[in-house]
Structure 1
Amino acid sequence: MTETGLAKLPPVRVLDAPDAAMLDALLRQEATPFVIRGLVRDWPLVQAGLESDRAARAYLLAHARDREFVFSSAQPDAGGRLFYDADMAVNFRMGKAKLPEIFAGFDTARGQDAAQVPTVYLGSVDMHEFFYGLADANPMPLGSRIPLASLWIGNASRIAAHNDFPDNFACCAAGRRRFTLFPPDQFANLYLGPIDITPAGRPISMVDFAAPDFTTYPRFRDALATAQVAELEPGDALFIPSLWYHHVEGLSDFNILVNYWWRDTPRYLGQPHNALHHAIMTIRDLPEEERAIWQAMFDHYVFSGGEAARAHLPEKGRGVLAPLDAQTAQRLHHFLLRSLSL
């Protein structure tokens, strides 16, 4: 059994990227997760973490901007699991403080019984907005991609399985991380929670990976049949393709992850989950026969790619039925804003 309480799962495949060109090629070609061992081991941040947790914190403090950082904190009885309470409210509170104040709490907790230490978690901290020169000192050659670079900092934690729309390249900078990954089609077998009440914006699996309840969540066994595990040491990197589900554990007393998000599709296409919310509001609760009609229309206009819906129209008269560009997407965006405000 692993520390998650799950039977041993197959590891994510390990690939090599000896230079930036090879890394770029892998990120373009590969459609499933992979690990690159030691990719960022030479980063000064990684080297500081290998020296000690205190050295890693000192390194970040040396680059931190003088501003408040948002953090989450949970009571020791949460066991590091940032999740829901019995009333389906989140089981942690949010706060703001300067980074030296937050890190002073980690120093105070050193040597204490882990069962008595609250979970403290700084998630998705923008690397450029909150730090001076940190990205330049710890570079990631991602070619023409323009990623959002973020830090995830905390003590031992368990983050429920969820997915993200952008591609994700995650680098373990300090401590150890374990990712349990599932293909995108496993969403039903992961028993996701509500899509509008979430700990961090994405629906999460309700299954406790440390003690899976297969009576309540029987199809989770099917999800496990597709799962892979990536164990990351300092300097290792993991590629998580868009929409792959991942359960994330910070296994050490102090952990730092640096991740890079990007999408290959244009930003003007917007966020698909907004369409899901709108469809729930407007279609889901219609009578069954009406839902069937709308399902067929969505297939015709959207999921088929829309070729049949526009083929009979003159090219100049296809409007938003033609493949979108920035201008038509903006026009459609404004139309939706007006219609939603009525």
Structure 2
Amino acid sequence: MTEGDSPMSSIFAAMAPVPERTIADATTLDAAIRAADTPFVVRGLVLDWPLVQAGLKSAQAARDYLAAKRKDVAFTVSVGEAGSNGRLFYDDAMAMNFRVGRGKLPDIFGHIASIENQPDAPPVYLASIDMDGFFTGLADENHVDLGDRDLLKSIWIGTRTRIAAHNDFPQNLACCAVGRRRFTVFPREQFRNLYLGPIDNTPAGRAVSMVDFHDPDFQQHPRFGEALAHAQMVELEPGDAIYLPSLWWHHVEGLAPFNVLVNYWWRDTPRWLGQPQDALNHAIMSIRELPADERAYWRDMFDYYVFGDPELPRAHIPEGAQSVLGPLTADSAGRLRGFLLRQLSK
């Protein structure tokens, strides 16, 4: 089935577009991000990047540019199944439908060049490669000024791919450098309507939607229609960027025979606060299987200590003795982490 014949082709066309913003400079971009609680697109934000300009010449020119910047290290690469239409997902046994290996970048690029124009070629994908760790000068030459944010700078390289809808805890600015990318985005609260898969057996560390966006089964996933009512879609050309607030769901497709994306992740809270997903995983292990009355008790305890007024559980304790019930610092969070590690190791 080609994209034009897909049941989703008309649905994509009917989706609301992701709003677009005009950004004049770094100050305007910073203000737009700080004010936004929904995604937005900036056309041409990184059009002047050397990587973008190389890709506009040809896919091979982009590969040559990247290869010249590479460090002499092995890269992790995922290779999917021929005829999968680029979908990197589960197989029928809920194992991954791709294999993961390591190789030198010129060898990987040589393989991509040999198959990129073949119909039904197996997808090849280098995901979330740290730009500073694997390239020399690439992040400096291809850079978005995001002020004093503590950034994780990653590059994603591959053939035609389809990445299932997922979300990320950090905030995200994703820049289409080579090829074309389609983003289909959903608000945070739509997770119930996306039919998420396992949280511990995932393609890339985050739970993903089990819905095939190119061939949705509305009998098996009837609430997906409600998710679509809240969806927005955009196709990014080289140089375009999309801002994704924390925890927004996004389904991402590389539409060209060769595609490169650069993204920036950051948190607005200190990293020492930890990952909320870890707390959810621990709660599943320790609370979910309890009797109903005990679960109700722990729901109240979470409301009291976590989701309610933080002053309430500590107001009666002298300020110097509140320990982790007081406002967290790097030191008190470190003590709490150490306590948790000791408890979990028993």
Tell me if both proteins adopt one fold, taking TM over 0.5 as the criterion.
Answer: yes
Partner Cα separation in structure 2 for residue 309 and residue 6 of structure 1 = 53
Do residues 250 (structure 1) and 254 (structure 2) align? yes
Is 1:134 paired with 2:141? no
Matches within 5 A, 1:1-342: 4-5=8-9, 7=11, 8-112=14-118, 114-115=119-120, 117-342=121-346
Q: Is the 8 A contact 1:64 1:99 kept in 2?
A: yes
Mapped contact 2:117–2:257 kept (Cα < 8 A): no
Residues in 2 aligned to 1:6 and 1:74: alpha-carbon distance in whole angstroms: 27
TM-superposition CA deviations, 1:69-89 (whole Å, max 9, x none): 001001112221000001100
Structure 1 runs (4+) deviating above 2 angstroms are 1-6
C-alpha distance in 2, partners of 1:291/1:158? 39
Whether the 8 Å CA contact 1:6–1:209 is kept in 2: the answer is no
Q: Deviations over 1:103-145 (max 9, x none)?
A: 0011112543x22x11100000000000000011112100011
Q: CA deviation at 1:333?
A: 0.2
Letter in 1 for 2:89: F
SS in 1 for 2:183: strand
Structure 2 residues without counterparts, runs of 5 or longer: none
Contact 2:62 2:178 in 1 (8 A): yes
User: Which has the larger displacement, 256-265 or 6-15?
Assistant: 6-15
Other structure's SS at 1:161 match: strand
Contact preservation (8 Å) 1:72, 1:95: yes
Q: Distance in 1 between matches of 2:116 and 2:339?
A: 55
Shift of 1:32: 0.6
Identity percentage over the alignment? 59
Task: Answer whether contact 1:5 1:209 (CA < 8 A) is retained.
Answer: no
Deviations 1:202-260 (A, max 9, x none): 00000000011110001111111111012100000000000000000000000000000
Mapped to 2, the partners of 1:99 and 1:178 lie a distance apart of 25
Flag the 1:110–1:160 CA change in 2: closer, same or farther, 3 A: closer
- Distance of 2:34 and 2:234 partners within structure 1: 20
Q: By how many angstroms is 1:304 displaced?
A: 1.2
Mapped to 1, the partners of 2:305 and 2:116 lie a distance apart of 58
Q: Is the 8 A contact 2:116 2:159 kept in 1?
A: no
Q: Deviations over 1:292-335 (max 9, x none)?
A: 00001000000114221112221111111111000000000000
- Counterparts of 2:63 and 2:342 in 1: how far apart (Å)? 48
Cα drift, residue 191 of structure 1? 0.4
Q: Secondary structure at the match of 2:16?
A: coil
| Separation in structure 1 between the aligned mates of residue 34 and residue 275 of structure 2, nearest angstrom | 22
Matched letter for residue 128 of structure 1: D
Q: Which amino acid aligns with 1:41?
A: L
Query: Could you tell me whether the CA contact under 8 Å between 2:49 and 2:141 is conserved in 1?
Result: yes
Aligned residue type for 2:241: A
Q: What's the TM-score, normalizing by structure 1?
A: 0.98
Give me the whole-angstrom Cα distance separating, in 1, the residues matched to 2:267 and 2:206.
17
Letter of the structure 2 residue corresponding to residue 73 of structure 1: V
Quote the offset at 1:6 in angstroms: 5.3
TM-score after normalising by structure 2: 0.96
Q: Gaps (5+ residues) in structure 1?
A: none
